[in-house]
Amino acid sequence: MDLLVKNAKIVIASETFESNIGVEDGKISSLSPSLSAQGAKEIDARGMIVVPGGIDAHTHMELPVLTTSSADDFYSGTVAAACGGITTIIDFVDSKPGQTMLDALGDYRGRADGKVVTDYGLHMMFKGQNLPEIDQIPNIVKRGVPSFKVYTAYKKRGLMLEDPDISRVMKKVAAAAGLVAVHAESETIIESLIQQNLAAGNTGAVYHARSRPAEAEAEAIARVTRLAKEAGAALYIVHLSSRAGKREVEEARTRGTRVFAETCPHYLVLTDKALERQDGRHFVMSPALKKPEDCEALWEGLREGGVIETVGSDHCPFTSAEKDWGKDDFTKIPNGVPGTEVIIPILYSEGVRKGRITVFDMVRVTSEAPARRFGLTPSKGSIALGADADFVIIDPTKQVRLTADVLHTKIDYSIYDGLTTQGYPVLTVRRGEVIMEDGEFVGKKGRGRFIPRKTVDGQN
Ligand code: URP
Ligand code: ZN
């Protein structure tokens, strides 16, 4: 045995139990209350809870946006993740102009291997430039990348696909037993509101939110879920932000569409009021922040299970200097905020402690469901014999104010500055290696691994 965690109150999605945890060769080798160290490194978890390592299925490390890249590379971004109890991320491969998807995949592997400290998987972004190589989809799936993200918006950035092309991609991905992820916002609604606002001289950050109302999300979800049903595809709606959008997912499910949704920590605890602040541009991401009743609907969705299955971060931070590009024109603000480090602290403190969700819900949406949905089981997503030894010790009494100096993302401000959380990860173990202790990264650069994922086809 290499590591023994004693007196653990273990919480998995289906139950809680007390046990010691034995770890050998990166796997959980024994679960027994009477297990002794036999010379192995020992950690006492008395008074703590131990949950499976978080799986953040939505990150953008070193993503090129406008003339810059998101602030965290695969090292600093996964250090931040590890410090928040995440042990696996799934990032999105973005092909450069003229680059094939296979070359882009190789490029991302080259950038991430050697830097990552958590394990990682990849999704493929499928943009307009990738249409001529649509037949490559099964080859990408075979390489352990069985999920493809399409966009219904961001035409100017070359990300948006027209509906007939979305439908073609859905059919190809479905034939390869993959999953189609969708950034669902209506380009038509958004563009017309942006033009109206700019023409009226409404250039402040708050007009980003006023140009991206809940209806823009709902319209796109209504459309893509119908396209998916016709194509026989399974859908994953990324970053669901509104009650209206949630309702469309629910209705599509009652029509028999295989559709699942993810929300993000910022949509749960922040509202569009933040964009009225002097530093409102720091809160610009897409979809935009909504109203308190939307936050409430998203918590409800996490509680109910099913419709909102997971919480991913959409981690994509930019420095304040980069956010300042849009001081006088909200359309020039790089879109994106940090988040991978705060998923578990926010769900525990704002969710579990405040009675909005149970601790079982938290484990389900941060670990069990993303592992199942993204083909990572049985090695990830639970604390079980033979599974990877990926787990987090949470101190339920520890209070942490989420300021920039506490968080590890490489930006100079925190959008959660006003939030003090109670219940915080104090130790993270990834495949048996302690990588975070008392808020500091203690692992080694590059020790994370690429995890090729199985196809799951939305069946489970
Ligand atoms: O605002 C968001 N969601 N940023 C993430 C990166 C992108 O542009 O999709
Ligand atoms: Zn994203």
3-class DSSP state of 216? helix
Is the backbone peptide bond immediately before 292 cis, with ω within 30 degrees of 0? no
Asked whether 48 and 426 are in contact (CB, 8 A), the reply is: yes
| C-beta of 59 in contact with ligand 1 (< 6 A) | no
User: pLDDT at residue 418 above 60?
Assistant: yes
Q: Distance (Å, rounded) from C-alpha 195 to C-alpha 191?
A: 6
Q: Distance (Å, rounded) from C-alpha 258 to C-alpha 269?
A: 28
- Radius of gyration of the CA atoms of the chain, in A: 21
User: pLDDT at residue 56 above 60?
Assistant: yes
What is the average pLDDT across 104-122? 98
User: What are 332-352's pLDDT values in tens digits?
Assistant: 999 999 999 999 999 999 999
Ligand 1 centre to CA of 71 (Å) is 13
In the prediction, which pLDDT does 46 show? 97
| C-beta of 66 in contact with ligand 1 (< 6 A) | no
In the prediction, which pLDDT does 38 show? 85
Q: Distance (Å, rounded) from C-alpha 429 to C-alpha 447?
A: 12
pLDDT confidence band for 456 (50 / 70 / 90): confident
Q: Please provide the DSSP assignment of 161-179 as one string.
A: --HHHHHHHHHHHHHTT-E
3-class DSSP state of 370? helix
pLDDT confidence band for 289 (50 / 70 / 90): very high
What is the average pLDDT across 321-331? 98
Q: Amino acid identity, residue 300? A: E
| Residue percentage of the chain with pLDDT more than 90 | 96
User: What are 232-284's pLDDT values in tens digits?
Assistant: 999 999 999 999 999 999 999 999 999 999 999 999 999 999 999 999 999 99
**The dihedral sign for the CA sequence 343, 346, 347, 348:** positive
| C-beta of 62 in contact with ligand 1 (< 6 A) | no
The atom of ligand 1 lying closest to the CA of 284 is 1
Residue 164, both tokens:
């007939």
Pocket test for ligand 1, best of 286, 289, 290 (most atoms within 8 A of CB): 286
User: pLDDT at residue 459 above 90?
Assistant: no
pLDDT confidence band for 7 (50 / 70 / 90): very high
Q: Distance (Å, rounded) from C-alpha 76 to C-alpha 337?
A: 15
Residue 94, both tokens:
């973005």
Ligand 2 centre to CA of 397 (Å) is 32
In the prediction, which pLDDT does 183 show? 98
Mean pLDDT taken over the chain: 97
Q: Distance (Å, rounded) from C-alpha 426 to C-alpha 439?
A: 6
User: What are 24-46's pLDDT values in tens digits?
Assistant: 999 999 999 998 888 999 999 99
Q: Distance (Å, rounded) from C-alpha 253 to C-alpha 34?
A: 46
Strands (DSSP E) found in 12-146: 16-24, 27-32, 41-44, 49-52, 54-59, 64-65, 68-69, 86-93, 119-125
Asked whether 335 and 88 are in contact (CB, 8 A), the reply is: no
Q: Distance (Å, rounded) from C-alpha 320 to C-alpha 398?
A: 29
- The helix/strand count (H/E) of the chain reads as 14, 19
Asked whether 166 and 225 are in contact (CB, 8 A), the reply is: no
| Residue percentage of the chain with pLDDT more than 70 | 99
User: What are 161-215's pLDDT values in tens digits?
Assistant: 999 999 999 999 999 999 999 999 999 999 999 999 999 999 999 999 999 999 9
In the prediction, which pLDDT does 306 show? 85
What is the average pLDDT across 431-438? 98
In the prediction, which pLDDT does 457 show? 67
The atom of ligand 1 lying closest to the CA of 63 is 6
User: pLDDT at residue 460 above 80?
Assistant: no
pLDDT confidence band for 66 (50 / 70 / 90): confident
Q: Is 72 exposed, middle or buried (0-12, 13-18, 19+ CB in 10 A)?
A: buried
| C-beta of 334 in contact with ligand 1 (< 6 A) | no
- Which CA distances in Å does 371 have to 104, 201, 220, 381? 24, 46, 27, 5
pLDDT confidence band for 458 (50 / 70 / 90): low
Q: Distance (Å, rounded) from C-alpha 36 to C-alpha 67?
A: 55
What's the whole-model pTM score?
0.98
